[in-house]
């Protein structure tokens, strides 16, 4: 199939609605987080593959915080749309709501961002169509995705540095007030010799 150079957000916008059945519940009677994650992955795939015109794989998931429990019997709807496209990657924003059909109450359970990458027949990342931004909201989401990418990259750099420089003995004071206890003999702090 010949891919167009650009596609609109509306072209691939997808809503998946599923009834929460008892088999999806945990021992506490609420819906397993993994069930919702799986549905989110499914809708992210559908939306990204439609935009890409190709098979896509999940590369990264941001912002998965389950804000409210979902109950058996509720109707969960996952609304997905392309927020951003790179060369081969697509960021799909997914808003999840749960509706109690009897009371009409609607809960917003989470909004997450799935980064998907399009693959060609040889399983290599392949270019995706650009995105036509048709209104201010779509432009805002695209810009927000750029910001998220920039901040993540700064965070990753800083965290990698912090990990590299972390010395257990020198950070021990941070354990004060934490709910842990050390059950092994500690080695004395050694100061590196400067030559």
Ligand X SMILES: CC(C)(COP(=O)(O)OP(=O)(O)OC[C@H]1O[C@@H](n2cnc3c(N)ncnc32)[C@H](O)[C@@H]1OP(=O)(O)O)[C@@H](O)C(=O)NCCC(=O)NCCS
Tell me which residues touch ligand X (CB under 6 A): 57-60, 86-89, 115, 117, 125
Q: Which is nearer to ligand X, 49 or 59 (CB)?
A: 59
Min. distance of Cβ 148 from ligand X in angstroms? Answer: 10
What are the φ and ψ backbone dihedral angles of 52, each rounded to 5 degrees?
-75, -25
Min. distance of Cβ 61 from ligand X in angstroms? Answer: 9
What dihedral do alpha carbons 4, 5, 9, 15 form, nearest 10°?
A: 40
Q: Which is nearer to ligand X, 2 or 122 (CB)?
A: 122
Q: Which is nearer to ligand X, 98 or 117 (CB)?
A: 117
CB 41 within 8 A of CB 83: no
Q: How far is 117 from 60, CA to CA, in rounded Å?
A: 10
Q: How far is 82 from 114, CA to CA, in rounded Å?
A: 10
Min. distance of Cβ 50 from ligand X in angstroms? Answer: 17
Q: Which is nearer to ligand X, 157 or 169 (CB)?
A: 157
């Amino acid at each position: 199939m010949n891919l167009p150079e650009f596609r609109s957000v509306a072209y691939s916008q997808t809503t998946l609605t599923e009834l929460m059945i008892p088999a999806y519940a945990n021992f506490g009677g609420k819906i397993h987080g993994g069930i919702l994650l799986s549905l989110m992955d499914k809708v992210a795939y559908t939306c990204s593959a439609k935009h890409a015109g190709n098979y896509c794989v999940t590369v990264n998931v941001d912002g998965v915080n389950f804000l409210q429990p979902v109950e058996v019997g509720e109707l969960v709807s996952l609304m997905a749309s392309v927020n951003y496209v790179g060369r081969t990657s697509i960021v799909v924003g997914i808003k999840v709501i749960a509706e109690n059909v009897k009371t009409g109450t609607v809960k917003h359970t989470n909004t997450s961002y799935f980064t998907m990458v399009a693959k060609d027949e040889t399983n290599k990342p392949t270019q995706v169509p650009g995105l036509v931004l048709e209104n201010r909201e779509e432009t805002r989401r695209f810009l927000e995705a750029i910001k998220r990418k920039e901040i993540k990259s700064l965070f990753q750099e800083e965290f990698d540095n912090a990990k590299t420089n972390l010395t257990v003995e020198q950070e021990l004071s941070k354990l004060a007030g934490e709910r842990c206890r050390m059950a092994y003999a500690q080695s004395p702090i050694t100061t590196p010799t400067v030559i």
